[in-house]
Amino acid sequence: MSERLIYSEIERTKNEMVTALAEMIKIKAIAPDSGGEGEYDRAEHLMDVIEKFNFDKVQRYDAPDERAKNGVRPNIVAILNGKSKRKLWIISHIDTVPEGDITLWNTDPFMPVIKDNKIYGRGAEDNGQAVIASLYAIGILKRLNIEPEYTVGLAFVSDEEVGSKYGIKYLLEQNIFHKRDLILVPDHGEKDGLFIEIAEKSVLWLKITTYGKQVHASTPEEGVNAHRYGMNFALELDKLLHSEFGEKDELFRPPYSTFEPTKKEPNVANVNTIPGRDVIYFDCRILPKYNLDDIISFANELTKEFPDVKIEIEPVEKHQAPPGTDPNSDIVKLLKKVVKKVKGKEAQVGGIGGGTCAAEFREKGYNAVVWETIEGTAHQPNEYAVIDNILEDAKVFALMATTPLEEEKK
């Protein structure tokens, strides 16, 4: 009976949920590292939305960051008490990446557009869908006076996109989590909602700086073109990393390590100057079997093959993947059980290359899983969330809170 009631109430609040997501998209929440002011304004707005659900406890954990608006990076925790003190945590992030090349967008990235069962805007899918679906799923239990099986903790965190220092890492320092907790991070998935992520690749971001000699472009013989050497080095490194560290592990999607040249810093502002300094970045997602120090050493060794310039390798993000979550852990069992109930099919477990908050929990010995139903438009122009996915994920979250594990019944 309660299951039908939950489904009905989620469907009834569809427009409310869509409006809540649209209003959130309008408020930029970009990290100072990416040229933004941080998440303060969005957190203030979200606090107002949370207030109307009358949770048993709502608390802010503001991480100090003088670069951000009002000097803080906010993290919000809302608690709904359940039959058991054991907690089910649903952890989503409120920050977004910048819009990227604005010319590739069909609409203003921060003015949401609702069309064809989709809501378009930066952060709609990553991670606004999860924020709204989890908030309303558990908020609706409170509205309906349904006591969950577990005490439910909703965490809305900052800084996920650029390292989580001011987000989940800060929350972990507050000692609010317990090793027995059931931890779900809805920040990756597939279109059918049948993939549960239990492991992640290691993350390594490399900054590669090439130093030459700046001169007028009409007299290249008098200088050393850092841009040319930098490009050649990057291409050679790209090729050799793939061959040297090319083993496969079928647990992961894709089943191999990836090494992608991404960000390029400006070198000179005018066409007729040969640059004396060039900077490029690599985003590497590496199978856990490889040691990140070995990859850094390999890149440093390659610089010796370019004696005409000085090349510096600097790891700006480095996270060796911890062991994955036990596929027979309680959180995997519970999520599989509920996904089958909602979607009628068995979910499969596996690993991904993307970094999520779950890795921070696994690092400290917690079992955590990543799951949601998404189209995979994160970080792309014209990012969108499918409205039906928001509703269906909300049903999964609500049923997770109200579905006992076998051992909980004893």
Residue whose C-alpha is closest to residue 205's, from 109, 123, 105, 286: 286
**pLDDT score, position 354:** 80
Alpha-carbon span 90 to 397, nearest angstrom: 8
Mark whether 345 and 251 lie in a shared domain: no
Structure confidence at residue 1 (pLDDT): 55
Q: Which is it for strands 57-60 and 76-80: parallel, antiparallel or unpaired?
A: antiparallel
Return the structure tokens found at 396.
């999964």
pLDDT at 232: 98
* Placement of tokens 């979200």 in the chain: 46
CB 126 within 8 A of CB 378: yes
CA 106/CA 365 separation, integer angstroms = 44
Same domain, 24 and 121: yes
CATH label of the domain that carries residue 239: 3.30.70.360
Please say if 116 is a catalytic residue. no
In this structure, are 301 and 326 located in the same domain?
Answer: no
Q: Are 187 and 121 in contact (CB under 8 A)?
A: no
Residues 126 and 60 in one domain: yes
Within-domain flag for 116: yes
CATH code, domain with 78 = 3.40.630.10
Q: Is residue 271, in this structure, part of any structural domain at all?
A: yes
Distance CA 83, CA 195 (A): 29
Residues 232 and 183 in one domain: no
Residues 151 and 33 occupy one common structural domain: yes
User: Of 39, 62, 95, 159, which residue is the catalytic one?
Assistant: 95
Backbone angles phi, psi at 319, to 5 degrees: -140, 105
Q: How far is CA 360 from CA 171, 236, 317, 348, in A?
A: 11, 33, 14, 22
Domain total of the chain = 2
Q: Give this prediction's pTM.
A: 0.86
Q: Are strands 202-211 and 277-286 parallel, antiparallel or unpaired?
A: antiparallel
Same domain, 314 and 330: no
The answer to whether residues 65 and 211 belong to one domain is no
pLDDT of residue 355: 81
Q: Is-contact 126 379, C-beta < 8 A?
A: yes
223 and 291 co-located in one domain = yes
In contact, 335 and 347? CB cutoff 8 Å: yes
> Are residues 140 and 34 part of one domain?
yes
Do 297 and 272 sit in the same domain of this protein? yes
Last residue of one domain, picked from the residues 318, 348, 383: 318
Q: Domain span at residue 224?
A: 202-318
The answer to whether position 197 is within a domain reads no
Residues of the chain with pLDDT under 70: 1, 407-410
Q: Where are the alpha helices (DSSP H) in 275-322?
A: 292-303
Instruction: Please tell me which residue in 65, 125, 160, 190 is annotated as part of the active site.
Output: 160
Both 271 and 336 in one domain: the answer is no
Residue 183 lies in a domain: yes
Q: Give the model's pLDDT for residue 377.
A: 97
Q: What is the pLDDT of residue 152?
A: 98
160 part of the active site:
yes
